[in-house]
């Protein structure tokens, strides 16, 4: 641990902290002008996402008259709680909140970060992409044209591989051909993730591009595409090679959602990860009926990095992990 005398000051300059305040004001003006309601939901929850790619912070908490210790979770996103508000009839909503992900630290990652999440009733993922582009262009006016490419087309263009039909051995061979050699065995999805992050993402530098049509196995909360159920109605936005937003045409079928949660819990067990409590209140909200909608999560810190041309996330945070 660094000496407190060397780390008490903020990592970001005061000018960049002022830029953060201006950005948050812009975001609120954008949604206010479109009649989208700002909401707040708890950062602590009795349940957590079972997604094996996301690790939650478990927090012991004394609560109740008996003062028993309960283990709660810091949210990885406000998604489940916001969908409960949608099911309760809240309509179009957005939230600027803190999110927490264990094990994520690096140039683009801090375990505690700021997330903007919003939901639009009656939108599909295509229409939501238009609104995401409007918001980002209002903050980054020099971004240029926003293009769209399917996940499958990107693999075919760059790697000459069909990600929906190729084998794990083919993926491994293609990784080795690009200088990526991993000891041990990876499953099919892990190879796809590795090639996407190490080979395809760098090809998106200098562009604003929506990648859509991710494999169904990579979209536990999105609807499947009725024209090709091997893919999901999910998109990600990349600006200058940086993953900025992740959106879905939201799954609203409670039975299908429960089955996907169970499959994620099984993948966690197979990977040696601890199981997490299932969010039964979220599933009950789906049972009650959530309206047809699309939703998206956007990294506010990364958006500010792009606006300020910052090199590391620490450059736009007052107190990143090592100074917290």
Per-residue confidence (pLDDT) for residue 65, from 0 to 100? 65
DSSP per-residue codes, 253-309: -HHHHHHHHHHHHHHHHHTTPPP----HHHHHHHHH-PPSEEEEEEEHHHHHHHHHT
> 3-class SS at 155?
helix
Among residues 74, 136, 75, the alpha carbon closest in space to that of 305 is found at 136
| Continuous segment of H or E residues that includes residue 211 | strand 208-212
Domain locations in the chain as residue ranges: 4-41+75-323
Nearest by Cα to 59 from 73, 45, 43, 69: 73
Distance CA(19)–CA(12), nearest Å, equals 10
| CATH code for the part of the protein at 4-41+75-323 | 3.30.930.10
Q: Burial code of 209-230, b = ≥16 C-beta within 10 A, e = fewer?
A: bbbbbbbbbbbbbbbbbeeeee
Q: Quick one: pLDDT at residue 185?
A: 76
Q: Are 36 and 94 in contact (CB under 8 A)?
A: yes
Contact 295, 223 (CB under 8 A): no
pLDDT in tens, 23-69: 999 999 999 999 999 999 999 999 999 999 999 999 998 876 667 78
CA–CA distances in Å: residue 321 to residues 104, 271, 299, 313: 10, 27, 17, 11
Of the candidate ranges 116-120, 273-277, 297-301, the one whose mean pLDDT is the lowest: 273-277
- The answer, yes or no, to whether residue 127 has pLDDT greater than 90, is yes
Q: Which residue's entry shows tokens 């210790």?
A: 69
Write the CA distances from 202 to 199, 239, 246, 303, integer angstroms: 6, 11, 18, 18
Distance between start and end Cα atoms, the chain: 11
In whole numbers, what is the pLDDT of the chain averaged over residues?
A: 95
- C-alpha closest to that of 201 among 159, 261, 167: 159
pLDDT above 70 for 97:
yes
Higher-scoring residue by pLDDT: 12, 190: 12
Q: What was the pLDDT predicted at 220? A: 86
Full-model pTM: 0.94
Distant-in-sequence, close-in-space partners of 152: CB < 8 Å, separation ≥ 6: 162, 163, 164, 213, 231
Which tens digits make up the pLDDT trace of 234-279?
Answer: 999 999 999 999 999 999 999 999 999 999 999 999 989 999 999 9
């Amino acid at each position: 641990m660094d000496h407190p005398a060397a780390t008490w000051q903020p990592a970001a300059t005061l000018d960049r902290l002022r830029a953060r305040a201006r950005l948050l004001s812009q975001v609120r003006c954008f949604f206010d002008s479109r009649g989208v309601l700002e909401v707040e939901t708890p950062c602590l929850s009795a349940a957590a996402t079972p997604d094996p790619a996301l690790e939650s912070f478990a927090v012991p908490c004394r609560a109740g008259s008996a003062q028993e210790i309960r283990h709660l979770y810091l949210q990885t996103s406000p998604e489940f709680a916001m969908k409960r508000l949608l099911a309760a009839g809240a309509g179009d909503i957005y939230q600027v909140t803190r999110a927490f992900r264990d094990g994520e630290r690096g140039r683009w990652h801090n375990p505690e970060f700021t997330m903007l999440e919003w939901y639009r009733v009656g939108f599909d993922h295509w229409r939501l992409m238009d609104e995401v582009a409007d918001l980002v262009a209002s903050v980054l006016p020099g971004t240029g044209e926003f293009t769209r490419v399917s996940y499958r087309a990107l693999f075919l263009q760059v790697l000459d591989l069909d990600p929906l039909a190729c084998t794990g051995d083919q993926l491994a061979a293609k990784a080795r051909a690009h200088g990526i050699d991993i000891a041990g065995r990876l499953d099919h999805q892990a190879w796809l993730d590795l090639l996407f992050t190490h080979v395809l993402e760098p090809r998106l530098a200098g562009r604003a591009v929506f990648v859509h049509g991710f494999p169904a196995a990579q979209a536990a909360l999105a609807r499947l595409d009725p024209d090709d159920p091997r893919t999901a109605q999910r998109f990600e936005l990349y600006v200058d090679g940086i993953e900025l937003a992740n959106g879905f045409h939201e799954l609203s079928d409670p039975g299908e959602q429960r089955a996907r949660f169970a499959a994620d819990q099984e993948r966690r067990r197979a990977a040696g990860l601890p199981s997490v409590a299932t969010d039964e209140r979220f599933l009950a909200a789906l049972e009650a009926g959530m309206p047809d909608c699309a939703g998206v999560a956007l990294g506010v810190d990364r958006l500010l990095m792009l606006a300020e041309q910052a090199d590391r996330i620490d450059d736009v945070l007052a107190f990143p992990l090592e100074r917290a």
